[in-house]
Amino acid sequence: MINERFLQKAEECKPELHHETVTVPGNGEPMKAGAEAVFDFGNHYVGYLSVDFGYEGHHPDAPLYFQIQFAEIKDELNQNPAEYHGWISKSWIQEEKIHFDEVPGICALPRRYAFRYVKIKILSVSDNYSVIINSLSADTVTSAKDDQLRYPVLPEEDRKLYEVSARTLRSCMQEVFEDGPKRDRRLWLGDLRLEAIANYETYRNYDLVKRCLYLFAGTTLEEGRLSNNLFLYPKPECDFQTMFDYTLFYINTQWDYYCAAKDLETLRELEPVCETQHRLLKEYFGKDGLLDMEKAGNVFIDWNFSLDKQASGQAVYIYAMNDLLKIQKELHKDTGELEDEIRRLSEASMKLFDEEKGLFVSGPNRQVSYMSQIWMILAGVVKDKDAREILERVEKTPDAVTMNSPYAYHHYIQALIDAGLKDKAYAKMKEYWGGMLKMGADTFWELYNPEDPGVSPYGGIIVHSFCHAWSCTPAYFLNKYFAD
Amino acid sequence: MINERFLQKAEECKPELHHETVTVPGNGEPMKAGAEAVFDFGNHYVGYLSVDFGYEGHHPDAPLYFQIQFAEIKDELNQNPAEYHGWISKSWIQEEKIHFDEVPGICALPRRYAFRYVKIKILSVSDNYSVIINSLSADTVTSAKDDQLRYPVLPEEDRKLYEVSARTLRSCMQEVFEDGPKRDRRLWLGDLRLEAIANYETYRNYDLVKRCLYLFAGTTLEEGRLSNNLFLYPKPECDFQTMFDYTLFYINTQWDYYCAAKDLETLRELEPVCETQHRLLKEYFGKDGLLDMEKAGNVFIDWNFSLDKQASGQAVYIYAMNDLLKIQKELHKDTGELEDEIRRLSEASMKLFDEEKGLFVSGPNRQVSYMSQIWMILAGVVKDKDAREILERVEKTPDAVTMNSPYAYHHYIQALIDAGLKDKAYAKMKEYWGGMLKMGADTFWELYNPEDPGVSPYGGIIVHSFCHAWSCTPAYFLNKYFAD
């Protein structure tokens, strides 16, 4: 369903993109077919590349044919695109083969890329000339304003962590908050929520969050259900797929936005969209107050197909309702029923608590996982000492399903903080994201498993996004909890 | 050497390109990776293609990756680019692999192509959608004015021959007379001469010839020697290579232009350029009045590495001097020395006439070829009955080196006409170019050997030009000699 009024509001908040030209020198070497060179832009950028080609020898008398690869991390250049056969479309691989008719001259590539490294391989010239790469120039774009970036007082060792987090967010801030500027280059609700809270602590572009809230509100599925993500071109349209948790996070994103921007008008206008999600999704609970996973459908929680998501899904719902309650109270609505519901579902959640193990379990196989504990804490089902004990206990449970993504780790850090384990949160954050820093990250990655850095849920790291919204939250944590 | 004044004159004659949009419907079939379709524009065009992509299924959530091939003749589509390893750069192959981010939408390709057929193969989409090709649209360009095209009174059976010849010229008429709009897309002197005479009988764009004459005059090699061909971008610059015969043809092109356009100012201004070629190239003759092939360097004559070019080269020189004499007479210059030279070289040419064979022979091996006879006739070294007998005799000489290209055939037809064998010229022209028509030609080809249509001097027909300037002259012959 399209709501033109909401889309008009979204359009009014469309950001101006800030352009900065970044140029690196060429290699100065005459290149024949087969020659290749790698160029390093020194940091992660999103933008449009131009290559200034010169030549040596006689005037070029045949087109130049070259291959160009863009890489967010250097290891992408070692991957062979022909060997990727994963389930995500190989069209995401940032590689082109281009004929250029106007050597000497500047070849401007029409597409936008996300990269630090650029590799150029000459596929064909004529016998009469060699090509020379004079320089590469990138027209870089972001809607983040660098002069708005907050710089908290941080110990020296945390500055890199902060900068790389902020850089990640910066590269994802385009016409919307994208999930990743390499892939999917698209507005996802789950990513938006984390980008928004990181944004409030860094670039503080409130209008960009407002725009995204109106875009989702303006493009819904049947009965007003919010989709996972949406497309902007040729006109805003939401994806056909839904995820239980992502839908609910709209409510949290709305409340966070209100807390940051104090925009009561938007809160009032979009509260019915939040309430619609509540009305639709509460039907997925059984009389026992537990989430019916057959009705719930997809629940994301983490990039992990073996994770049982019942307990986490149950908790995410309560987590969202906690914020819906705040929204409705702010708007002076009658919240009696909602408070009852939260209480009822929170109590029911304790049916998932295994007294013997002292941990929440999930699904028919009573699976123990980090995520189940984390979400029950974030939902406030358990608190304080109970929460602390649970988090310490799960760490000592060897068969507990661990976390795969920075997205999952974000919630772990937040749960540690909520449980009062701030020092541990700080240490875990530095250990996890610091692992990526040690591997040379300029931006934080979509996927990082310290135990197995090469693992991919897609079938190849060549399609991974190495600048991914949901990994940008150390900037949020550092500013909100750890800066002086 | 750059002559800015001449280049300024060339710039003033730069033609306006006429744009015509030609659209063909798509195939309407939902296409997944691996699917392909061929589209037929119904005639040969030069221009810029846009593909209107739609989709079936869910909104595209990954870029479309597709391969596109352009073909002047259908058989090009059966060639595998990966199998071409010839000496001409494979960058001439009209094939691209393109990522398109904005399905549904129009993908506009930046390069110019020459084509009738377009083949699109889908390399990758996502699981959530199929791509649909709604339509293909070409922004076609030519500097030929269709409303200026002369339509001679011709028998029904000759009309196709005329139309295809004119079409060939039309596609080659761009910012200059190109040799072929697929390859080399460039101004060559040997092609220019034939395009110019065909142009006078068809589209009559005199300024385009004038422009080309000034471009060559404005961009010369050391000592003012004219190159084979020149580049326009980024600024006019001639190629480093020369060919003896091509250099000389500048003189003939100048005279032909004057005869057609009556442009005495240009004749006067460019005569010194003609005289410079005379002064430089006369040094290549020995005291015996014969061309010294070591000095002469490359002589083209035909696409045939086994052809001995001494006799032809000798004759081309005289052929050019005949026109230089006309130019200088028109300008009231003292032509005594030039007339002596022509007489002396013409007499010396008879040393190459083998009395026993009754044919001209060429080089140390006394090679007999069609081209040697043809050029001696075009040069006026032999005439009338002698010429006719030679042309009849060479046909009965089984080991005479034959002709490989339409370019060579053009001179054969002209020699038959010059020798008074007009009916035979007509029959041979129709037989040779008609052979291409029978094979479905929409424009005439760079290379055509009726005995061996697949033969290639480049190592593969995929780089052949199937719309080639030097093949357009049936329109000239029909109009000048065979129309009512």
Instruction: Check CB contact under 8 Å for A240 and B59.
Output: yes
Chain A residues with CB inside 8 Å of B92's CB? 62-63
Residue B379's beta-bridge partner residues? none
pLDDT band at A454 (very low <50, low <70, confident <90, very high): confident
**Measured between alpha carbons, how far is B136 from B40 in angstroms, rounded to an integer?**
10
State the CATH number of the domain containing residue B102. 2.60.120.260
pLDDT band at A206 (very low <50, low <70, confident <90, very high): very high
B window 212-251, beta carbon within 8 A of A: 231, 233-234, 237, 239-240
Instruction: Check CB contact under 8 Å for A89 and B125.
Output: yes
Q: How many angstroms away from the CA of A20 is the closest CA of chain B?
A: 23
Mean local confidence (pLDDT), A427-444: 97
**Measured between alpha carbons, how far is A471 from A180 in angstroms, rounded to an integer?**
10
B481 touches chain A (CB under 8 A): no
Domain final position from A83, A111, A142: A142
Q: How many angstroms away from the CA of A224 is the closest CA of chain B?
A: 18
pLDDT digits (tens, 9 = 90+) for A177-194: 999 999 999 999 999 999
Measure CB to CB from residue B91 to each of A59, A64, A88 and give the nearest one. A64
Residues A94, A224, single domain; the answer is no
Instruction: Check CB contact under 8 Å for B105 and A61.
Output: no
B35 and B112 in contact (C-beta within 8 Å)? no
- Looking at every residue in chain A, the average pLDDT score rounds to 97
- Where is A55: in which H helix or E strand? strand A36-57
Percent with pLDDT over 70 in chain B: 100
Peptide bond into A234 cis (omega under 30): yes
Tell the residue number behind the tokens 């384990």, with chain if given. Answer: A421
Residues B294, B281, single domain; the answer is yes
Chain B residues with CB inside 8 Å of A65's CB? 89-91
Instruction: Check CB contact under 8 Å for B124 and A231.
Output: no
Percent with pLDDT over 70 in chain A: 100
Encoded amino acid at B328, one letter: Q
Peptide bond into A474 cis (omega under 30): no
3-state secondary structure A389-425: HHHHHHHCCCCCECCCCHHHHHHHHHHHHHCCCHHHH
pLDDT value for B254: 98
pLDDT digits (tens, 9 = 90+) for A257-296: 999 999 999 999 999 999 999 999 999 999 999 999 999 9
Chain B residues with CB inside 8 Å of A92's CB? 62-63
Tokens read off for B255: 């005279």
Residues A178, A95, single domain; the answer is no
Residues A122, A191, single domain; the answer is no
**Residue B204, phi-psi category: left (phi > 0), alpha (psi -120 to 50), beta (remainder):** left
**Measured between alpha carbons, how far is B331 from B264 in angstroms, rounded to an integer?**
9
Helix, coil or strand: residue B245: helix
Mean local confidence (pLDDT), B245-260: 98
pLDDT band at A146 (very low <50, low <70, confident <90, very high): very high
B109 and B96 in contact (C-beta within 8 Å)? yes
Residues B317, B340, single domain; the answer is yes
Domain final position from B110, B142, B174: B142
**Measured between alpha carbons, how far is B225 from B240 in angstroms, rounded to an integer?**
10
Q: Report yes or no on B4 lying in a domain.
A: no
What domain range is A474 assigned to?
152-482
pLDDT band at A377 (very low <50, low <70, confident <90, very high): very high
Instruction: Check CB contact under 8 Å for B186 and A239.
Output: no
B31 closest CA partner among B75, B67, B74? B67
Helix, coil or strand: residue A142: strand
Q: Report yes or no on B400 lying in a domain.
A: yes
Residues B266, B153, single domain; the answer is yes
Q: Report yes or no on A13 lying in a domain.
A: no
Tell the residue number behind the tokens 């991957």, with chain if given. Answer: A79
pLDDT digits (tens, 9 = 90+) for B325-366: 999 999 999 999 999 999 999 999 999 999 999 999 999 999
In this predicted structure, the answer to whether residue B452 has a pLDDT above a threshold of 90 is no
Helix, coil or strand: residue B116: strand
Mean local confidence (pLDDT), B384-393: 98
Helix, coil or strand: residue B367: strand
Strand (E) positions, B266-369? 353-354, 359-360
pLDDT band at A453 (very low <50, low <70, confident <90, very high): confident
A88 touches chain B (CB under 8 A): yes
Instruction: Check CB contact under 8 Å for A104 and B184.
Output: no
Tokens read off for A12: 């009014």
B269 touches chain A (CB under 8 A): no
Peptide bond into A104 cis (omega under 30): yes
Q: Cite the DSSP H helix spans in A282-335.
A: 293-296, 310-330
pLDDT digits (tens, 9 = 90+) for A216-239: 999 999 999 999 999 999 999 999
Residues B408, B358, single domain; the answer is yes
pTM (two decimals) = 0.96
Percent with pLDDT over 90 in chain A: 97
Q: Report yes or no on A3 lying in a domain.
A: no
Residues B74, B104, single domain; the answer is yes
Q: How far is CA A336 from its chain centroid?
A: 35
Q: Report yes or no on A4 lying in a domain.
A: no
Residues B197, B316, single domain; the answer is yes
Residues B132, B164, single domain; the answer is no
A97's CB contacts (< 8 A; 6+ apart) are A65, A66, A67, A68, A123, B96, B97
In this predicted structure, the answer to whether residue A452 has a pLDDT above a threshold of 90 is no
Q: Length of chain B in residues, anyone?
A: 484
In this predicted structure, the answer to whether residue B223 has a pLDDT above a threshold of 90 is yes
Domain final position from A142, A170, A188: A142
Q: How many CA atoms lie within 13 A of A124 on its CB side?
A: 21
**Measured between alpha carbons, how far is A144 from A102 in angstroms, rounded to an integer?**
35
B302 closest CA partner among B410, B439, B221, B195? B410
Helix, coil or strand: residue B431: helix
Residues A131, A252, single domain; the answer is no
CA A222 to each of CA A253, A273, A277, A300: distance values in angstroms, whole numbers, following the listed order: 22, 13, 12, 21
B window 284-323, beta carbon within 8 A of A: none
A111 touches chain B (CB under 8 A): yes
> What is the Rg, in whole angstroms, of the alpha carbon atoms belonging to chain A?
24
Work out how many domains chain B is built from and give that number: 2
Instruction: Check CB contact under 8 Å for B63 and A87.
Output: no
Q: Report yes or no on B90 lying in a domain.
A: yes
Mean local confidence (pLDDT), A76-94: 94
Q: Report yes or no on B76 lying in a domain.
A: yes
pLDDT band at B135 (very low <50, low <70, confident <90, very high): very high
pLDDT digits (tens, 9 = 90+) for A306-327: 999 999 999 999 999 999 999 9
pLDDT value for B453: 80
In this predicted structure, the answer to whether residue B451 has a pLDDT above a threshold of 90 is no
Q: Report yes or no on B59 lying in a domain.
A: yes
Residues B46, B23, single domain; the answer is yes
**Measured between alpha carbons, how far is B235 from A107 in angstroms, rounded to an integer?**
17
In this predicted structure, the answer to whether residue A451 has a pLDDT above a threshold of 90 is no
State the CATH number of the domain containing residue B271. 1.50.10.10
Chain B residues with CB inside 8 Å of A186's CB? 61
**Measured between alpha carbons, how far is B209 from B215 in angstroms, rounded to an integer?**
10
Chain A residues with CB inside 8 Å of B59's CB? 231, 237, 239-240
**Measured between alpha carbons, how far is B304 from B408 in angstroms, rounded to an integer?**
10
In this predicted structure, the answer to whether residue B62 has a pLDDT above a threshold of 90 is yes
